[in-house]
Amino acid sequence: MQIRYGDYAFIIILIQIGKTMSQAAARHLLVDTEEQCLTLKAEIEGGKDFAEVAQEHSNCPSKAQGGDLGTFGPGQMVPEFDKVVFSAPLNEVQGPVQTQFGYHLLEVTARS
């Protein structure tokens, strides 16, 4: 079997399509200080419901949905967020993650 340049281009396109098809679902909460973020993380790890904590404390409009951000692909969120969402274990609270918006706690709920 002989592979021509056009075959390589096709393979590269398939690889790129596969990369962009990655999806994740996550929820988060956003607060102003790292200290507040750590306090809320301890509460969640101590048994408080993530969604309830987000509804009560988050500065993000997603708090109305318990911090649920739905499904999104790489590059749709800020880089610091993407780095965690596309590498962290599922269903474990991550953070604090600092972005230009403040400090986040993240929980990746699904990834494909």
What's the mean pLDDT when you consider all of the chain?
A: 88
Predicted TM-score (pTM) of this structure: 0.79
Helix spans in the chain (H): 5-20, 34-45, 50-57, 79-85
Q: pLDDT tens, 5-52? A: 554 444 544 445 455 569 999 999 999 999 999 999 999 999 999 999
Boundaries of domain holding 76: 23-111
Is the pLDDT score of 3 beyond 90? Answer: no
Instruction: Report the distance separating Cα 29 and Cα 31, nearest Å.
Output: 7
CATH of the domain at 90: 3.10.50.40
Note whether residue 56 is domain-resident.
yes
Note whether residue 82 is domain-resident.
yes
User: What pLDDT shows up at residue 14?
Assistant: 46
Number of domains into which the chain is organized: 1
